[in-house]
Amino acid sequence: MLGPLLDRRLLVVTGKGGVGKSSVAAALALLAARAGRRVLVCEVNVQERVAPLLGAPASGTSPQEVAHGLFTVNVTPATAMREYGLQVLKFRALYEAVFENRLVKAFLKVVPSLGELVMLGKILHESRAEERGRPRWDLVVVDAPSSGHAVQLLRVPGAMLGTVPAGPLRSDAEWMRDWLVDPARTAVALVTLPEEMPVAEAVELDQQLREQVGLAPAALLVNAMPEPRFTAAETERLRALAEAPAPVGPPAQAALLQAIRAGHATRHLAALRASLDLPTGLLPLLASPEWGRGDVEALAAALAAPGPGEPTWLAPAPAARGAARPHRPGGTP
pLDDT one digit per residue (tens) for the chain, 333 residues: 566 789 999 999 999 999 999 999 999 999 999 999 999 999 998 899 999 999 999 999 999 999 999 999 999 887 777 776 555 544 444 345 444 555 445 544 544 467 788 889 899 999 999 999 999 999 999 999 998 999 999 998 998 887 778 887 788 889 999 999 999 999 999 999 999 999 999 999 999 999 999 999 999 999 999 999 999 999 999 999 999 999 999 999 999 999 999 999 999 999 999 999 899 999 999 988 888 999 999 999 999 865 433 345 665 665 554 444 433 333 333
Nearest CA to 242 among 254, 232, 230? 254
Nearest CA to 300 among 4, 26, 15? 26
Residue 107 φ/ψ, nearest 5 degrees:
-65, -45
Task: Catalogue the E-assigned strands of the chain.
Answer: 10-15, 39-44, 64-67, 70-75, 130-131, 134-135, 139-143, 186-192, 219-225, 280-284, 313-314
Nearest CA to 143 among 279, 320, 47, 25? 25
Residue spans of the domains in the chain: they are 8-324
d(CA 206, CA 216): 7
**What angle (nearest 5°) sits at the alpha carbon of residue 274, between those of residues 273 and 276?**
60
8-324 topology per CATH:
Rossmann fold (3.40.50)
The reported pTM is 0.84
Element (H, E) at 301: helix 293-304
